Structure 1
Amino acid sequence: MPFAPFVGVNHHGQSILLGAGLLSNEDTKNFVWLFQTWLECMNGRAPNAIITDQDRAIKNAIARVFPGTRHRYCLWHILKKIPEKFKAYSQYDAIKSALRRCVYESQTCGDFEVGWQRVLERYNLKDNDWLCRLYDERTFWVPAYLKGVFWAGMTTTQRSESMNAFFDGYVRPSTTLKQFVDKYDIALRKKVENEALADFNSFNSTLSCLTFYCFEKKFQQVYTIAKFKEVQEEILGRIYCTVSLLTKECAVCTYQVIELVQVSVEDAFVKKVIYVVYLNEDEDEFEVKCTCGSFESRGILCRHVISVLTAHNITSLPPRYYLDRWRKDVERRYTLVKSSYDSLSGNPDVQRYDNLCKCMHKLAEIAARNVDHYRKVQRHINMLTSELSGLSCESIGDDLEVEIDGDDLEVETDQVHTPLKVRTKGRLPYKRKESAVEKAINKKKSQEKRNESRQRKRILKVPSPISHNIQHSDVFETQDSTTTKDIWPRELLKG
């Protein structure tokens, strides 16, 4: 059965699974059902952008279910068809290079239009059906048309394919549907552990700053380690950029940034790429924008913008340039919800959240039977929400307690054993994969055991070939510093 995962990106740049479906057939009807079902699970919140293969059925389903979502084709899947379409041409290598330059080096839609027509005329490809269809759908795959949309750094469906490869470690072709559900939970638990480990590293370790600029210090404080590394890559890349002022009208300055880009490592071939950066110096309307579109599509300031900022001695940025999307302390409400792969029993926030949800369920059952009661409860909920929304999490703390009669809200305090330690009946399950955290813990425990064994006294027993000369109960104790001659009888040493 086709496996259709919905893959996103978390604040560490890691792939996360937002949902998945098993389809009986890959047609428009099934994709419409898949998208509608997933939309219901997401409380009606459609994605801002989505990347898929160049499939007509998926395109029709997205247009019907997600009309306001920006749809993009996987660029890698499109360009990998070039050998299939033009391998028989005598000028294949030249056509391939010209098409790639036109796609990747066009910074504006006008540049792409001019470059595309030049390629068609030069190699006499105006009658090529495949290129004509691609040109008609150019807004779905050409980077120049997609720069103004936030893609979280994604341009292909590589993350979806890597997610399929990730599940290959848990699922085999012979896996039944029942086993698949269990394996699915185990795989999701692995993803949660990876994210928790990245959270721990971001809060407990710090990368050193490369410069003394205030904006880098701010990125260091608020961003996760993975995203701060991307910022530092752009800061380092500014040494290959040359800035020159083109025009200045009032507070708006236009700069030309020439970047040296290494094309081939073997030949040390370097080419010059020209970008244009617009800077509004007005304090109330401060804005900086580059034609590369890195900040709009990736959420990371490019080296061209950083070069202009440093040339202007601008060391601080407005808050909107520090995206909440990449913050280490980003608020994730879904972490309070219990799931089939993570009970979160050790989290006190989850316990309070679960208790409050049970209270509200009981209150909703009573209030829903009468209109007046419903309006009264709704009014009090709105008042309480507005009152508590002004308080921070620290100010609420442990004072937010709920008293409930009955035993229906017992907190689970019993120790939950790992499946490896619980006795099972019947056939033994497959050996579960160890997580990175478990591997580190087990490695530390084994190291401690080895250290303890080295500190103990060694008890040496007489070997069997000469045991007839010594009683079996005779035991020689020695420390590590004692030599063999000090403990063995002289007669045995001669023998």
Structure 2
Amino acid sequence: MFNLHNEDVSKLRFGNLEVAYKFYCWFAKMNGFAVRKGQDVRNKDGVLVQKTFVCNLEGYRKDRRDLTEVTRKRGPKHETRCGCSARLRVHIDIISGLWYITIFSFEHNHYMLTEKHCGLLAAHRKLTKSDQIQIKNYGQAGIKVAQMIGAFANAAGGYDKVGFLKKDLHNQIQRQRKETSSDAKGAVKYLLGLRTKDPLMCPFVVFSGVNHHNQTIIFATAAVSNEVEGTYVWLLEQFLLAMKGKAPVSVITDGDVAMRNAIRRVCPNSYHRLCAWHLLRNAMSNIGNLEFIPYLKKCMLGDNDVWKFEKLWNEMIDKFGLQDNSWIKELYQKKKMWSTAHIRGHFFAGIRTTSRCEAFHSHMGQFVHSKMNMTDFVKQFNRCVCYFRFREVEADFHSQYGNAVLQTPLRSLERSASKQFTHEIFCLVRSVLKKVSLISLCDTQEMASFSIYSVTKYQDEGHVCRVSHSPSNNEFKCSCLRMESIGIPCEHIVAIMVYLDTVEFPTNLVLNRWSKFAKDSIRGNVNDGSHYWDSHLVARHANLVHLSKEVSDLAYKDVDDYKNYLDYLTNEITRLKSKYVGDNGPVNLNGPVEVDNILNPSCARSKGGGPSSNNTTAGRSRRPGTCGGCSQVGHNIRSCPNLAEDGEFPAASSVQSMSVRLSGNNYEGYVNTR
């Protein structure tokens, strides 16, 4: 933390209020808070003589919940005002005209943000004039917001160095649209997505999952030339090697047989689940009855016990007469790969389909297109992954900054959950807290070391769940196994916690992967990864970028200034590059890495895209070329024997054509009369 002593501060003088405000903003950013402009004091002539700048958490939010609970559609924002008393007050010296500091208080009563999160505060996010011009130019070119923020990040050296967020860019675009009479004429439609059947794009395999904010993250990727079992086996072996032998706990894929066999061979202990969406789509094509789908959904996704699943399945088979249907028989044999009743207890984080992967493919379509070569594709894909990683930084900021507004009667438990879970997971836990009123206790059994509580849901007395509680370690377990399946305590457990007058969530009900502190155990071990943050380097880089933008804004207007700065910067770049050439630095900062024995991948299509280009002529001969004059094969128009001496062809009615087919070493032909 960057501190200033009172004796040092008392010596500071500012030429105007703007300089004083920028100084305090700079100081605030270095120390983890933001600044707001406070009260003005004017003399009897109305001249401003005193100004106070306060911490952005000064004061308290007005309580308007009674007015907004009914009309407000979105939930209230976090409460951030906590009555902080930190401030900087300046007063003008009438004689010199300079502003000097009279009060400098650094007594904050709240958590100070780290520098990477402090930069996300609204007071520290600024769009310069050059940024606004660039946004307008991007909009006129039809570039979408995702590409705009990526371009700014590429120019600044990373998303963390841009200086503003994606929503600030949206707000600026909205302001620019209001300034003009119509924005429809200048809009350019952007090419949407990738072509699903492009023969020039290799199949791209993505290993994706979820982080502690329930956001999609990418573990690994690979471009493969085919999608056979042997390729998937090699790919999974390389994935385990990169993960230092740690296999995934659970895997969700479509019904591809080669992929399923590879998972069984390489990751036998991983629980493999089939995508529910693909199964329902296949059911429609194999059964062809719309009334069948709701029954299958109830069997597949319903919160049922095994005995109830068997009952629903048999009722469905009898209703639609599917006793002899081969697809239904095969589907039933794989029930442990898709039935919630059989999968219950295995952790899948609430994921039942591959829709997250499909959504990632859709988002990736904003960065890549079908005409890219392999090198450009990898670069753009890396940009996409970098953006996904920056979303995690944003989510960390929103989870740490401010306190959630309590909305349930169980205020103690809700406050405890807000302090332990990330914001996204806390919203899911809060929805569970709201369901507790529907749960009632119907029986209690006292054992030697634990107690068993039987609970039922309102108007569902036939379904009884049993919650066990061990007072020695304050451990809760429920027969619904939702905690083991999703990692979030169910309403049955919470109801017993309320019955026992528990005020905080026990540690065994807060999975580390869903908590705000999920990355604390690895933060110090990954020095050069996404967790590493050198505030001094970031500050220096941001300062140079800002100065470079200001020079560009001023120097391009005059030809002489432009030439002078162009020569100066060119010489400086040459000097800096030569400075880092040595034993401890790269020989060429921008030079490519030389590699040998790397060949271009063969063209291939992913499954479902039709036959590959290598098999398009399999089983049938290629159509031979014909003469442009007589339409016969075996020659062209220059060597055509039917060409007359005067260069004219005979009448079309008397021309004969011969089709020739190559068979072995002999030519076989037949004659057709036109």
In the alignment, structure 1 residue 236 sits paired with structure 2 residue 434 = yes
Counterpart of 2:451? Answer: 252
Instruction: Compute the displacement of 1:2 (Å).
Output: 1.2
Question: Per-residue displacement from partner, 1:289-332 (whole Å, max 9, x unpaired)?
Answer: 33443211111112232233323433344311111111112226
Partner secondary structure for residue 372 of structure 2: coil
In the alignment, structure 1 residue 280 sits paired with structure 2 residue 478 = no
Give the Cα separation in 2 of the matches to 1:310 and 1:224: 22
Counterpart of 2:336? Answer: 139
Counterpart of 2:416? Answer: 218
Structure 1 247/259 Cα, relative in aligned 2: closer, same or farther at 3 Å?
A: same
Give the Cα separation in 2 of the matches to 1:56 and 1:129: 17
Give the Cα separation in 2 of the matches to 1:309 and 1:55: 44
CA contact (8 A) 1:75 1:156 kept: yes
Question: Per-residue displacement from partner, 1:408-447 (whole Å, max 9, x unpaired)?
Answer: xxx99666759x969999xxxxxxxxxxxxxxxxxxxxxx
Q: TM-score, normalising length from structure 2?
A: 0.47
Give the Cα separation in 2 of the matches to 1:321 and 1:343: 26
Q: How does 1:20-419 map to 2 (within 5 A)?
A: 20-87=221-288, 89=289, 92-93=290-291, 95-105=292-302, 107-209=304-406, 210-239=408-437, 241-246=438-443, 248-250=445-447, 251-259=450-458, 272=460, 275-284=463-472, 286-331=474-519, 333=522, 336-338=526-528, 344=532, 346=534, 417=545
CA contact (8 A) 2:305 2:341 kept: yes
Partner secondary structure for residue 71 of structure 1: strand
CA contact (8 A) 2:440 2:456 kept: yes
Question: Per-residue displacement from partner, 1:35-88 (whole Å, max 9, x unpaired)?
Answer: 11111111121111111111110111001111111111111211122222222x
Question: Per-residue displacement from partner, 1:139-164 (whole Å, max 9, x unpaired)?
Answer: 11111111111112211111111111
Instruction: Compute the displacement of 1:191 (Å).
Output: 1.1
CA contact (8 A) 1:279 1:288 kept: yes
Give the Cα separation in 2 of the matches to 1:74 and 1:276: 29
CA contact (8 A) 2:250 2:347 kept: yes
Give the Cα separation in 2 of the matches to 1:53 and 1:280: 36
CA contact (8 A) 1:275 1:291 kept: no
Partner secondary structure for residue 246 of structure 2: coil
Partner secondary structure for residue 125 of structure 1: coil
Counterpart of 2:665? Answer: none
Question: Per-residue displacement from partner, 1:360-396 (whole Å, max 9, x unpaired)?
Answer: xxxxxxxxxxxxxxxxxxxxxxxxxxxxxxxxxxxxx
Instruction: Compute the displacement of 1:186 (Å).
Output: 1.0
- Letter of the 2:431 counterpart: E
Q: Give the structure with higher Rg (CA).
A: 2
Picking from 200, 216, 221, the partner of 1:15 is: 216
Q: List runs of 5+ in structure 1 lacking aligned partners.
A: 261-271, 352-410, 426-495
CA contact (8 A) 2:247 2:267 kept: yes
Structure 1 99/306 Cα, relative in aligned 2: closer, same or farther at 3 Å?
A: same
CA contact (8 A) 1:102 1:112 kept: yes
Give the Cα separation in 1 of the matches to 2:372 and 2:234: 25
Partner secondary structure for residue 328 of structure 1: coil
Counterpart of 1:447? Answer: none
Instruction: Compute the displacement of 1:128 (Å).
Output: 0.7
- Letter of the 1:114 counterpart: K
Give the Cα separation in 2 of the matches to 1:277 and 1:79: 29
Structure 1 47/282 Cα, relative in aligned 2: closer, same or farther at 3 Å?
A: closer
Structure 1 163/123 Cα, relative in aligned 2: closer, same or farther at 3 Å?
A: same
CA contact (8 A) 2:403 2:418 kept: yes
Structure 1 283/148 Cα, relative in aligned 2: closer, same or farther at 3 Å?
A: same
Give the Cα separation in 2 of the matches to 1:310 and 1:343: 38
Give the Cα separation in 2 of the matches to 1:343 and 1:221: 22
Q: List runs of 5+ in structure 2 lacking aligned partners.
A: 1-201, 553-565, 571-674
Partner secondary structure for residue 80 of structure 1: helix
Counterpart of 1:395? Answer: none
Give the Cα separation in 2 of the matches to 1:282 and 1:414: 55
Aligned residue pairs: how many? 345
- Letter of the 1:218 counterpart: S
Structure 1 282/36 Cα, relative in aligned 2: closer, same or farther at 3 Å?
A: closer
Structure 1 413/117 Cα, relative in aligned 2: closer, same or farther at 3 Å?
A: same
Partner secondary structure for residue 20 of structure 1: strand
Question: Per-residue displacement from partner, 1:434-472 (whole Å, max 9, x unpaired)?
Answer: xxxxxxxxxxxxxxxxxxxxxxxxxxxxxxxxxxxxxxx
Instruction: Compute the displacement of 1:286 (Å).
Output: 4.2
CA contact (8 A) 1:259 1:274 kept: no
- Letter of the 1:230 counterpart: L
CA contact (8 A) 2:213 2:514 kept: yes
Q: TM-score, normalising length from structure 1?
A: 0.64
CA contact (8 A) 1:277 1:289 kept: no
- Letter of the 1:17 counterpart: I
- Letter of the 2:314 counterpart: Q
Partner secondary structure for residue 414 of structure 2: helix
CA contact (8 A) 1:244 1:257 kept: yes
Counterpart of 1:490? Answer: none
CA contact (8 A) 1:275 1:292 kept: no
Question: Per-residue displacement from partner, 1:177-215 (whole Å, max 9, x unpaired)?
Answer: 100111122112211211111111111122123335543
Structure 1 33/412 Cα, relative in aligned 2: closer, same or farther at 3 Å?
A: farther
- Letter of the 1:231 counterpart: V
CA contact (8 A) 2:468 2:478 kept: no
- Letter of the 1:29 counterpart: G
CA contact (8 A) 1:277 1:305 kept: no
Instruction: Compute the displacement of 1:281 (Å).
Output: 3.9
Give the Cα separation in 1 of the matches to 2:282 and 2:359: 20
Structure 1 221/169 Cα, relative in aligned 2: closer, same or farther at 3 Å?
A: same
Structure 1 243/185 Cα, relative in aligned 2: closer, same or farther at 3 Å?
A: same
Percent of aligned pairs with the same residue?
26
What's the Cα RMSD here? 3.0
